[in-house]
Amino acid sequence: MRVEVFKDTDFEQGWTDSAVPNMSFNYDQASIEDCEYSDGVYWATYEPMVLTESHTFTYLTPTGREAITVPPGIYGVKS
């Protein structure tokens, strides 16, 4: 996917999706200098998570294991 980014975009921080709390997402580019520039706009790309069937993740919290079953869908879409 392609998304507009700006000179103050934090490329290190990335973003999360509450539906998959054990995952994070980030741009394919490390800085705005790596991004495509056209018509006065910088464009970054990223790959969302595509689940074609439900998937169970067992991840750790400070107090122990947490299991979630995530239904099919596209996750990590940059809002």
How far apart are the C-alpha atoms of 40 and 35, rounded to whole Å? Answer: 12
Which residues inside 10-49 make contact with other proteins, applying CB under 8 A?
12-14, 16, 21-26, 47-49
Provide, rounded to whole angstroms, the least separation between the CB of residue 40 and other proteins: 29
- Does the footprint of other proteins cover residue 4 (CB under 8 A)? no
Residues 6+ apart with CB under 8 A from 10: none
- Could you tell me the two tokens for 36? 């495509």
Q: Which is nearer to other proteins, 43 or 55 (CB)?
A: 55
Provide, rounded to whole angstroms, the least separation between the CB of residue 78 and other proteins: 11
- Nearest-5° Cα angle at 70, 75 to 14: 35
User: Rule CB under 8 A: which residues touch other proteins?
Assistant: 12-14, 16, 21-26, 47-51, 55-65, 76
